[in-house]
Amino acid sequence: MQEFISKIYKNFLKLAFNITIIVLTVSLFVGIYRTVSEIGLTLSEATVRLGFKELVTNVLSLVVVLELIRAFIDFFEHERVRVELKIS
């Protein structure tokens, strides 16, 4: 019974991990597209300062999403190694 529950738990974690990575990857592509498409606003805004502020905000948002993806992947690789070591 415990093996069955453990298997369900591991499968649920894999599903949640995969969905999270897909959502983060899609948001990364949307962020990249948005940043590239708004580069022109840096020069066309009423002030260059306002356009530059938007550009910096978009780039920092991309960095946050990249770090989230990296953190999720690192965590689950570490978790997988830990689980495999426990079984051995």
- What interhelical angle do 2-37 and 48-87 show, nearest 10? 160
Give the mean pLDDT of the chain.
78
- Determine the pLDDT at residue 39: 76
What is the model's pTM? 0.62
Report which DSSP code applies to 6: H
31 contacts 41 by C-beta, under 8 angstroms: no
How sure is the predictor about 1, in pLDDT bands with cuts at 50, 70 and 90? confident
Report which DSSP code applies to 33: H
Mind listing the pLDDT tens digit for each residue in 4-45?
Answer: 888 888 888 888 888 888 888 888 888 888 888 877 766 666
24 vs 65: CA distance, rounded Å: 7
Mind listing the pLDDT tens digit for each residue in 76-87?
Answer: 777 665 555 555
Across 32-54, b (16+ Cβ under 10 Å) vs e yields: eeebeebeeebeebeeeeebeeb
